[in-house]
Amino acid sequence: MSHFRPISLCNITYKPASKAIANRLKPFLTLVVSETQSAFLLGRLITDNVLVAYEINHYLAYKYWGSTGHAALKLDLSKAYDRMEWSFLERVLIRLGFHSSFVSLICTCVNTVSYSVLLSGQKFGYFHAQRGLRQGDPLSPYLFLFCAEVLSNLVSKMEAAGELKGVAVSRGGPRISHLLFANVTLNCFQASAEAMRCIRCILGVLEATSGLKVNFEKSSIIFSKHTPIADREGLARILGVRMEAKHDKYLGMPAVVGRSKRDLFFNVKDRVWARLQRWKCKSLSQAGKLILIKSVIQTMPTYVMSCLLVPNSICQEIEGMMADFFLAQQRFPKSSLDRLG
C-alpha cells in the first residue's frame, strides 16, 4: 500500500457544505498560520519560498569563514494527508481558539466518511477510516495547515530557547530557521550534533502526536563549504538523511544554481520535446497546433521563468521546437512564425 496514493471522491451533497466551512476559515488563516508557511494562503506564493531557499543555498555554497558551519535540511512528510490523526486535529483546533461547536462541525465532516474501493469498474464494500484527510475535500488543505503549524511552533520554541540557531545570509538580516510549503519543510541551523539531536527530537514528538512520518528517502541535507567532510557524514547519520546532490530539487526547482545555468535548464527543454513527440502532426490542423502550443507548451516553462532567468539559448531551442511542430508538413514561409505570439 505504500506505493498507492488514493484520491477520494467527495459526494456532491457534501462539497457545498465543506466549501462553505472552508470559506469561513479563509479570513482567519493569515492570523493563525505563521509567515513561514506559504501554501494555500492569499497573498503568499510558492516562489517566495523558492527565492528565499536560493539565497540560503547560495550563502551555504560560498561560506568559507566562521568557526561553526551551517546546514539546510529538506524534509518531506510521507502521505501527510492520509496519516493525519483525527484526535490530533481536534486538539490543534481547540488550542488555536476555535469555538467548540465549530470544531465539532469540522470533526463531523472529517470522521463520518465511509469509503468504497473501485476495482476494474466494480465497487467493493464500504468501510470507515480511523484517520486521514481526503485529497478531494475543499477543507483538507486548510486543516493540514493548522496541523503543520505545530511543527513551526516547535521549531520556533527551540530557537527561542537557544537550542537552534537559524541562518542569516547578510549582516543584520533576519535569521531564518524554517520554511514550509504544505508537506515540504526546509530547516536551517548550525551544523552541530546538538542541533541535529534537537531536530530529531522535534520530529519524534511530531510523529508521536500527529501520526505524520518523515520520508527520509526524499529528505536531504546540505552543509556550508567550511564544514569538515568528516563532520558532514556524522551529522547526516544522526538524522538518517542523505547528502544533497546537485540534481536534487526543492519545490520542483533545482536546489542549487551554479555559474552555468544551461545544464540545469535542460530538463525544461526535454519536457517540451517529450510533450511535442506525443502529438501527431498529420492529424492536427494548423489551428489545433496553435492552440496546443499556446495552452500547453508555452505554459510549461512559466514556473521556472517566474523564479530564474532562463538562458537565451534554451529559449531559442524551445522556440525552434515549437516552430518545427507548427510548420511540420506544411508549406508556410518562416514569416508565419510571427503569428504564434
Residues 295, 207 share a domain: no
Residues 282, 250 share a domain: no
Tracing cell 476495482 back to the chain, one arrives at 119
Residues 162, 309 share a domain: no
Residues 210, 166 share a domain: yes
Residues 245, 279 share a domain: no
pLDDT at position 198 is: 92
Residues 44, 107 share a domain: yes
Q: How many domains does the chain have?
A: 2
Q: Whole-model pTM? A: 0.80
> Among 231, 254, 277, where does a domain finish?
254
C-alpha dist (Å) from residue 100 to 18, 24, 73, 96: 18, 15, 37, 11
Q: Are 327 and 336 in contact (CB under 8 A)?
A: yes
Q: Are 272 and 321 in contact (CB under 8 A)?
A: yes
pLDDT at position 242 is: 86
Count of Cβ atoms closer than 10 Å to residue 106 Cβ: 21
Domain with 159 in it? 15-254
> Among 254, 279, 313, where does a domain finish?
254
Domain contains 70: yes
Count of Cβ atoms closer than 10 Å to residue 337 Cβ: 14
pLDDT at position 216 is: 85
Q: Is the dihedral of CA 215, 47, 140, 93 positive or negative?
A: positive
Q: Residue 128 CA to chain centroid, in angstroms?
A: 29
pLDDT at position 6 is: 57
pLDDT at position 313 is: 86
Q: For 176, what's the count of Cα atoms within 13 Å in the CB-facing half-sphere?
A: 27
Q: Are 160 and 50 in contact (CB under 8 A)?
A: no
3-state secondary structure labels for all residues of 30-86: HHHCCCCECCCCCCCCHHHHHHHHHHHHHHHHCCCCCCCCEEEEEEEECCHHHHCCH
Residue 250's beta-bridge partner residues? 253
Q: Residue 184 CA to chain centroid, in angstroms?
A: 5
Domain contains 188: yes
C-alpha dist (Å) from residue 111 to 104, 132, 134: 10, 9, 10
> Among 192, 227, 254, where does a domain finish?
254
Tracing cell 558532514 back to the chain, one arrives at 232
Residues 82, 38 share a domain: yes
What's the CA gap between 200 and 206, in Å, rounded? 10
pLDDT at position 297 is: 87
Q: Are 109 and 143 in contact (CB under 8 A)?
A: no
Averages of pLDDT over each 10 residues, the chain, 341 residues? 58 84 89 88 87 86 76 88 91 92 91 79 79 86 91 91 88 88 89 90 92 88 85 87 76 73 76 85 80 87 83 87 79 52 55
